Chain A
């Protein structure tokens, strides 16, 4: 309903106000008069009419003259249009508006969570470890920018759609990743958004691919941490994996592939799916990382490819690849190097690499893991 109001009014704050007023009226009237046959239509009609009244009274929205001419709608009319499909779900328009490139990424994320995720400002602030006042200001500024700079409320036209869809997917994945580090709440929100997007854009391969990727990653969340330390994939207790969600992820992935998925999310989802199999097909995983690296040019992808190569039985090529990567400030690089050096029997070099990794690591859970690996190394002769 909120999305519909925002689309109708072109204004986030008015839409929220109108919605709140409608709920207040409902809370007062329905117990007295009985619940209407179509509560949704009733609420939306009431909200729209209240908003129109307010605008008429204020008289400052000359630009919205077309609204002033809109006759007050009746509940019957609302029901008809709803069935006729004209009264459309405008969540997609809202999502693209929230993720418009003219807004900063932080603003896109906050606005998406606030208006589509329905999270409270305070919840979003906590999730991103910023003061509530900062987040509130960010939202106010973003809404103001949308109105003042004329960011259109629409699904972008075809020639802009591919890039804009990438931006939307990036925001959803960012929300998922921020949640994946330990705050389950956000991961769930991201998956919800992913599902809505898949429903609204069923013919887009990468949309399904992202949903599959998130479902597959999230299915392993219970096994990722133990006693405050990160648990490696190999050592995870598979009983803690959500088998049903994995099956669902695989099914969604099939849909993406059927739609021709060869994009980055499709590749990542395929890799994630392969990781849930036993035994792991490391050559296939390495090949997929190779395709992903070619697409994105990302050195982190190169690093993952090296790990897969090593697991597939070729630590020498893996180390060669790693040494060619420009990622000196990335602790995973050094941790990976350390592991490869260990496998190649170069213990002093491995020790040095673990030391470098420990200098760079942030999260306590990961620090514990690195310390454990170093201790295991020290326990070896040499």
Chain B
């Protein structure tokens, strides 16, 4: 089954910002390693919510707003797409994601298989 792992981190990311350069690069290394795990189909870090634009179409008109869909304390900072045997395997991968232990959360949701 293929799962989307949406990575939520809380803003401001004070816990992360307080880390040393060495620690930060160690975390980046962890993300890269997860990205290279067999079964991971892809993944990206997203730029900050301040770079987001939200698009709607109403009566044929394209409407754009500055900012993310929801102004929440938690924002999506990235994602992985993971093909796993079952939910337990997906949960285990999610638990390895650094954001999960630094005050954030990972939403694990299966994609619709067509």
Contacts and interface: CB of A to CB of B under 8 A. Distances in A.
Interface of A: 100, 102, 148-152, 156, 160
B38 to A, nearest CB: 18
Interface residues of B, number: 12
Contacts of A156: 88
Contacts of A150: 1, 3, 84-87, 90, 110
Interface string B75-114: 0000000001111101100000000000000001110000
A160 B110 CA distance: 21
A102 B91 contact: yes
Interface of B: 1, 3, 84-88, 90-91, 108-110
Contacts of A152: 85-88
Chain A contact residues, majority secondary structure = loop
Contacts, number: 25
17 contacts: A102-B87, A102-B91, A148-B110, A149-B87, A149-B108, A149-B109, A150-B3, A150-B85, A150-B86, A150-B90, A150-B110, A151-B86, A151-B87, A152-B85, A152-B86, A156-B88, A160-B88
Q: Which of A102, A150, A151, A152 has the most CB of B within 10 A?
A: A150
Given A102-B87, A150-B90, 17 more contacts: A102-B91, A148-B110, A149-B87, A149-B108, A149-B109, A150-B1, A150-B84, A150-B85, A150-B86, A150-B87, A150-B110, A151-B86, A151-B87, A151-B88, A152-B86, A152-B87, A160-B88
A142 to B, nearest CB: 13
A151 B110 CA distance: 11
B62 to A, nearest CB: 33
- Closest 3 CB pairs between A and B? A152-B86, A150-B1, A150-B87
A156 B87 CA distance: 12
B113 to A, nearest CB: 8
**Interface-central residue, A102, A148, A149, by most chain B CB under 10 Å:** A149
User: Most A CB atoms within 10 A — which of B85, B87, B109?
Assistant: B87
Nearest to B110: A149
Nearest to B86: A152
Nearest to A145: B87
A152 B88 CA distance: 7
A149 B90 CA distance: 10
B92 to A, nearest CB: 8
A10 to B, nearest CB: 11
A11 to B, nearest CB: 15
A377 B87 CA distance: 58
A156 B88 CA distance: 9
B87 to A, nearest CB: 5
Contacts of B90: 150
Contacts of A100: 87
